[in-house]
Chain A
Amino acid sequence: MNDLFINKSSCTPELNPLPNVRFGQNNEMNGRSSSIAFKAKSKLPHTLLKIGKSGEGEDYTSSVNKTPDSKALEVFILPSKLMSDNFLAADFKFGLKNGISAGAFFGGDVISNANARNQAELFVDHLMTGNGKNWNDDGTLSKGMKKTPEVKAFTKKVCNEFKSLMQTKFGNFWEVQLNKNNYSNISFSFGSSPTLKGLVGGTQKTVVSIQNIVYNTYYRTWLAALNLHIEDDFGVSESDVTSPRGASAVVAMPALADFWILQHQRGKKPFVTVFDIPFSCYGSY
């Protein structure tokens, strides 16, 4: 279904699906169709929902020789003082990859183990050399995200509210905005995907937009191509290391400590990871 929307320009004429048929004495239906088509062209893409903000907060700061606030972390990282950046990066990769593989072995994963280990390598390499530049996912992780219960539940909720509001607004999608208080940024659990839990975890910004929409004015139905845009900070705050919740988080502590040292004591810059997940909705108006 998504292939229908790859090329926006090829879809736009579909907004007026019955151009040669006259409805009513003055061809009112055709007029209505042309009106929607005209407006749709100028209003796309349309933002339905925006929550959170990425690239801010303690987990997005970087420094050299920062002293931890908590005594526990200070003691925990004491042996790492003499380790080189490259050694810490290798240890971080080791912890990350093994954590992901172990989780996938016991609970399964929506992302293949080879891809997961490769992505973990790339993320740490980007931390070491990327100088804070955004990381745009090539589809490897976002395809996996689409299969998780978290993303499925989120897109289902969006579709239900969008469908209902499209009826209230008589199909004028540009008047529709979802209530952000009904949604939260997606947080991937270890159970749904160890890879996504390890590399992304709780996300920080979500934008849902309509990329394209086609109407059937005769049956008064619509079909929309939407995009779920997710952003996350690949960075760590002290509370992420010292306040782990759940067994998986406790196991991840040594890897997170390596990450904290690299970011807050060795000046490595955190970065924003960007994911785009297309999905579709349909309804009547």
Chain B
Amino acid sequence: MSRVTSSYLLCVILGVTFLLSGTSCNQTKQNEAMKIFHLAPNRITVNDEAEPNDNWFVKEREDFFALKNFSADSETHKTEVDSFVTNYIKKDNFLSTDEHVSWSLVFFKYGDDITENTEHLFDTDYSMHELFAFKKRLIYYYFTSKNGYENTGYYLNGGETIQEEKRSALQK
């Protein structure tokens, strides 16, 4: 066997090994159990200082969650979160409390000071821009009293890109 052929074979073997190891790592990651933790309290903002022409929502609610072992590439994970959200919103009638309200469920990446015990405080420079920084967001589900379910967004590359979708499970 010539030296060129053997080098070529070695490259192929290394390449295949690399690809296989990548796939197996990915599978391991996807197989880890995904967990969702609700971070209390929920935040309700009442826009009581509205100007005469202000057509913005009268009330806005934000519920925060920590999401552990979530992979945006896994449709199974996405479906699991859909199912969680569907059950979660059924338990509350917030959308019917007023004619013009919005409700967002925001999921953050677990870790980096966000755990199941982290309080959902979102009113200081530190909590808004460091602890619950935009780059730590993973998913949002958005609802309004006007249309019900609006859409879902997956934050990619630390929120630089947001992939918006209408999840079929939520439209039922």
Binding site for B on A (CB under 8 A): 43-47, 50, 52-53, 56-60, 174, 177, 179-182, 184-185, 187, 201-202, 204, 233, 237, 239-240, 243, 245
- Contact flags B100-120 to A (C-beta < 8 A → 1, else 0): 001010100000000000000
Among A50, A59, A182, contact of B124 (Cβ-Cβ < 8 Å): A59
Interface of A, helix, strand, loop or mixed by DSSP:
mixed
The reply to whether the CB of B21 lies closer than 8 angstroms to some CB of chain A is: no
- The reply to whether B128 and A204 form a contact with Cβ atoms under 8 Å apart is yes
How far does the Cβ of B41 sit from chain A's closest Cβ, in whole Å? 13
- The reply to whether B126 and A240 form a contact with Cβ atoms under 8 Å apart is yes
- The reply to whether B56 and A56 form a contact with Cβ atoms under 8 Å apart is no
Please give me the residue from chain B that is nearest to A42 by CB atom: B53
Find the residue from A43, A44, A57 having the highest chain B CB count within 10 A.
A57
Task: Collect the chain B residues with CB atoms within 8 Å of residue A233's CB.
Answer: 124-125
Among B51, B123, B130, B162, contact of A182 (Cβ-Cβ < 8 Å): B162
- The reply to whether B140 and A239 form a contact with Cβ atoms under 8 Å apart is no
A237 to B130, CA, bound (A): 13
- The reply to whether A239 and B127 form a contact with Cβ atoms under 8 Å apart is yes
Please give me the residue from chain A that is nearest to B52 by CB atom: A45
Q: Would A201 and B124 be within 8 Å (CB), given that A50-B56, A179-B150, A182-B153 are in contact?
A: no
How far does the Cβ of A84 sit from chain B's closest Cβ, in whole Å? 27
How far does the Cβ of B147 sit from chain A's closest Cβ, in whole Å? 11
Q: Would A181 and B142 be within 8 Å (CB), given that A43-B53, A50-B56 are in contact?
A: yes
- The reply to whether A180 and B124 form a contact with Cβ atoms under 8 Å apart is no
List 17 A-B residue pairs with CB atoms under 8 Å apart, sorted by A's residue number. Answer: A50-B47, A53-B123, A56-B123, A58-B123, A58-B124, A60-B123, A177-B56, A179-B142, A179-B150, A179-B151, A180-B104, A181-B106, A184-B159, A187-B129, A201-B125, A202-B130, A204-B123
Please give me the residue from chain A that is nearest to B135 by CB atom: A184
- The reply to whether A184 and B134 form a contact with Cβ atoms under 8 Å apart is yes
**B contacts with A, residue count (CB < 8 A):** 30
- The reply to whether B125 and A59 form a contact with Cβ atoms under 8 Å apart is yes
Please give me the residue from chain A that is nearest to B105 by CB atom: A181
- The reply to whether A44 and B125 form a contact with Cβ atoms under 8 Å apart is no
- The reply to whether A47 and B127 form a contact with Cβ atoms under 8 Å apart is no
The reply to whether the CB of B121 lies closer than 8 angstroms to some CB of chain A is: yes
How far does the Cβ of A125 sit from chain B's closest Cβ, in whole Å? 21
How far does the Cβ of B138 sit from chain A's closest Cβ, in whole Å? 12
Task: Collect the chain B residues with CB atoms within 8 Å of residue A58's CB.
Answer: 123-124
Among B55, B104, B121, contact of A47 (Cβ-Cβ < 8 Å): B55
Task: Collect the chain B residues with CB atoms within 8 Å of residue A239's CB.
Answer: 124, 126-127
- The reply to whether A181 and B104 form a contact with Cβ atoms under 8 Å apart is yes
How far does the Cβ of B36 sit from chain A's closest Cβ, in whole Å? 18
Task: Collect the chain A residues with CB atoms within 8 Å of residue B140's CB.
Answer: 181
- Contact flags B41-70 to A (C-beta < 8 A → 1, else 0): 000010100010111110010000000000
- The reply to whether A57 and B123 form a contact with Cβ atoms under 8 Å apart is yes
Q: Would A202 and B162 be within 8 Å (CB), given that A180-B104, A184-B134, A239-B124 are in contact?
A: no
Q: Which residues of chain B (12-55) have a CB below 8 Å from chain A?
A: 45, 47, 51, 53-55
Among A46, A57, A187, contact of B127 (Cβ-Cβ < 8 Å): A57
- The reply to whether B54 and A202 form a contact with Cβ atoms under 8 Å apart is no
How far does the Cβ of B52 sit from chain A's closest Cβ, in whole Å? 10
Task: Collect the chain A residues with CB atoms within 8 Å of residue B128's CB.
Answer: 52, 184-185, 202, 204
Among A47, A187, A202, contact of B56 (Cβ-Cβ < 8 Å): A47
